[in-house]
Amino acid sequence: MSEIAGYTYGTVAVAPSPISLDELEKLKATVLFGEETDAHPGPLPLWERGRG
């Protein structure tokens, strides 16, 4: 398998997150980021509106 230049996920070259997963979940709850937000990440682009 070839390596992707600049891809360092899972190595010590990537700094650990400054917050825990529990803190992330609390932050998401604070800003009302929920399952529906995950399913609909943002407004539809203009060319997608009205379809459906």
Reported as a single tens digit per residue, the pLDDT across 2-50 is 676 777 777 887 778 899 999 988 998 888 887 777 676 677 666 666 6
Q: How far is 37 from 47, CA to CA, in rounded Å?
A: 21
Q: How far is 7 from 39, CA to CA, in rounded Å?
A: 27
Cβ contact 14:8 at 8 Å: yes
Domain spans of the chain, in order of start:
14-38
pLDDT (0 to 100) of residue 17: 86
pLDDT (0 to 100) of residue 21: 93
Cβ contact 34:28 at 8 Å: yes
Give me the numbers of helices (H) and strands (E) for the chain, helices first please: 2, 0
